Structures are given as C-alpha cells and as structure tokens.
Amino acid sequence: MMTHPVRNGYSLAQIVLHWAVVVLVIAQYLGHDAMEDAWDAIRDGGTPSAETLFGANMHAAIGATILVLALIRLYLRFTRGAPPVPKENPAPLRFVAKATHVLLYALIIGLPLGGAAAWFFGVAPAAGVHSLGTKVLFFVAILHVLGALYEHFVAHTDVLKRMLRPEG
C-alpha cells in the first residue's frame, strides 16, 4: 500500500476540483428536466424538441465533466494523500466521515457512468438506477455538508477550513 506524508490540508488543485464538482452537481440537479423530458419522449416513441435535446446533451456533457474531475480528484487523493479525520472525533463519527467520502466518490463516478449507459446505449434499467442514485447523492451530500458544519461550529476543528484554504 502506498504511504503518503501526513497532510494537514488539501492542495489548491484538490480544493478547486472539489468546488468545481459541487457547482456542476448542483447544476445537474437544477437542470435535469431536459434530460427527463428527452428520455420520456424517446421512450414513448417520439422525438424531443431541439431545445430539449440540447438540454439533455448539456446534462450528459456536464455529467462527463463530473466523471473526469472525480477521477482526477481520486488520483490526487491516492498520489498526494488527504488530511485524516480528526483523531479526537469519536470512532462512530470517524466511520461516518469515511463512509460518506467513499459513498460520495462512488456516486460522482457511478452516476455519470449509469447516465451514459442509459442515454448513449439505451440501457433502460441504468436510467432507474441513475435516478435512484441522484436521490442518494442528495442525502449523502447533505450529510457531508452537515458534518463539515458540525466540525466547524460544534467540534471547532479545521475540517471545513482545509477545504477553503490550500495547504502551504
């Protein structure tokens, strides 16, 4: 197993990638209607309007971008490392933090793959899994945000600050 020096924070690249993925995921949530409309039209034997098709293709392109950025983030995490969960946190909280990160990575990589399988290859079950996964991602992301806010305002750790300011 590869060992890394102990990190106190994230690199600028890790921080930029994190926030870029956040913005793109929010955009996907706010702009998914065109994809749903296009999918429904095609499933029902119709043809989506040019505007709907453009929105659907934008959704697919943003999803592909999220996938690429997530893979780069994962590469940096494995090659550079990441700061540990604060040791003063109770074991159950450390477990939830680690599990949340694993789930977030699995979802931001898996959702674009499932969406692509549905949209580009017509794998209908993938659309259902993609839809369910987006709901799971929403709740896991909320848990992640609440955890960061808890760490900052209640536990008074630097967990939130280290995703705002690069390690020097």
In the prediction, which pLDDT does 5 show? 75
Output the six-digit token pair for 61: 């392109």
Tokens of 107: 């979802």
Can you give the pLDDT at residue 6?
80
pTM of the model: 0.94
CA 64 and chain centroid, separation: 12
Q: What is the DSSP string of 58-72?
A: HHHHHHHHHHHHHHH
Question: What's the half-sphere exposure (Cβ side, CA atoms, 13 Å) at 111?
Answer: 26
Q: Could you read off the pLDDT of 104-120 as tens digits, one per residue?
A: 999 999 999 999 999 99
**The token pair that represents 4 in the structure block:** 């890394």
- The reported pLDDT for the residue numbered 68 is 98
What would the pLDDT profile of 122-164 be if each residue is shown by its tens digit? 999 999 999 999 999 999 999 999 999 999 999 999 999 999 9
pLDDT in tens, 45-102: 999 999 999 999 999 999 999 999 999 999 999 999 999 999 999 999 999 999 999 9
Angle at 1 between CA 69 and CA 76, to 5 degrees: 20
Polymer length in residues for the chain? 168
Question: Which of the four pLDDT bands, split at 50, 70 and 90, describes residue 16?
Answer: very high
